[in-house]
Amino acid sequence: MLRTLRAVRDRFGLTAPFRIARGVKTAADVVTVTIGQGDAVGRGEGVPYPRYGETVDGALAAIEAVRPLIEAGEGRAAIGRAMPPGAARNALDCALWDLEARIAGTTVAALCGRPGPAPLASAITIGIDAPGAMAAVARRAAPAPLLKVKVDAVGAADCIRAVRAAAPAPRLIVDPNESWTIDDLLRIEDVLVEQRVHLLEQPLPAGADEALAGRRWRVPLCADESLHVTDDLDALAGRYTHVNVKLDKTGGLTEALVLAEAARSRGFGLMVGCMICSSLGIAPAMLVADGAEFVDLDGPLWLAEDRPGGAVDREGVLSPPAPGFWGGGA
């Protein structure tokens, strides 16, 4: 049976500016894909990321280029061969998973042999600001089990201390988003230990992380921008203890599941993250996050208005979207 394909740009305003070392975001621009076959409809979402040379227009053009494959009924494997990893392939891959489950009258969780999505502890992210302002956010978020602190190369130690003083109990991730040098890391390592930082995410630029090798760091290090797909793992051994799997980097749930398993088999700890996105972007990621040591899927919490039926956060515990929102089911 022939399929229909629709891909559009959607924009979600944020409740507050999201500041990281790379810049400030005030809205989430996403690509939403809808694939229909008969009475069944599958949806997926991708977030084109300028850091990786992506734009919304570029993602829409990439999806349009594979329209004949989709409309002819080709599946995830064919799309994986035809497209590189990234946001465009992620939107298509997740829509195809959703469609497959609905046609089969089952769920994506059942199709990939995983338990259904369940509430999980997911990081509450604190964007870059003055230390006092970051402390105020941390104080409100202090009941959450996990916080993530965005920093850059200026005043990072003061920001980390301020957050930890305001929220002494939660586990803490610090994320410089590639903004540090190896000298910055050496200078601040004592502070990371003193402030009980549980994970340091991508301190150095991707491509410069060879400087991490040959030293036993006292805080676990997680690769984010340095990791996209399974083939990247070998280069990270001896440099990082953990890896951050994001569907917009892997190009969809299909590769994310393979990457997560391969990372575990190589002895890496697993983190599952997301871009600033709607709940349609994190619903598939919640399946990968089952059993992950660190989960950072708070993208929808930054939106002024999420998609109807989306995920719900209660003090850092994220409940999955309503049944039938994504992944088949009722």
pLDDT < 50: residue spans in the chain:
none
Domain end, chosen from 105, 140, 160, is at: 105
Instruction: Please give the pLDDT value at position 22.
Output: 87
Strands, sheet with 242-245, edge to edge from the N-terminal-most edge strand: 124-126, 146-150, 171-175, 199-201, 221-223, 242-245, 269-273, 294-296
- List the structure tokens of 235: 């280069």
| Counted domains in the chain | 2
Instruction: Please give the pLDDT value at position 295.
Output: 98
**Domain assignment of residue 68, yes or no:** yes
Same domain, yes or no: 130 and 238? yes
Q: Which residues, at least 6 apart from 7, have a Cβ–Cβ distance to it below 8 Å?
A: 31, 32, 33, 34, 60, 63, 64, 91
> Alpha carbon 68 to chain centroid distance?
29
Domain end, chosen from 80, 105, 130, is at: 105
> Alpha carbon 269 to chain centroid distance?
15
Annotated active-site residue 148? The verdict is no
Residue whose pair of structure tokens reads 């070392």 in the numeric block: 21
Domain span at residue 71?
4-105
CATH number of residue 22's parent domain: 3.30.390.10
**Domain assignment of residue 113, yes or no:** no
CA distance 130 to 162: 9
**Domain assignment of residue 324, yes or no:** no
**Domain assignment of residue 198, yes or no:** yes
Instruction: Please give the pLDDT value at position 21.
Output: 85
135: part of which helix (H) or strand (E)?
A: helix 131-141
Instruction: Please give the pLDDT value at position 330.
Output: 63
**Domain assignment of residue 225, yes or no:** yes
Domain end, chosen from 105, 131, 161, is at: 105
Same domain, yes or no: 124 and 95? no
**Domain assignment of residue 250, yes or no:** yes
Question: Which amino acid does the sequence have at 315?
Answer: E
Instruction: Please give the pLDDT value at position 91.
Output: 98
Task: Say which of 25, 148, 150, 249 is annotated catalytic.
Answer: 150
Whole-number percent of the chain with pLDDT over 70: 99
Cα torsion through 19, 20, 25, 26, rounded to 10: -20
Instruction: Please give the pLDDT value at position 2.
Output: 85
Q: Return phi, psi of residue 271, to 5°.
A: -120, 140
Instruction: Please give the pLDDT value at position 307.
Output: 98
Instruction: Please give the pLDDT value at position 117.
Output: 87
**Domain assignment of residue 240, yes or no:** yes
**Domain assignment of residue 327, yes or no:** no
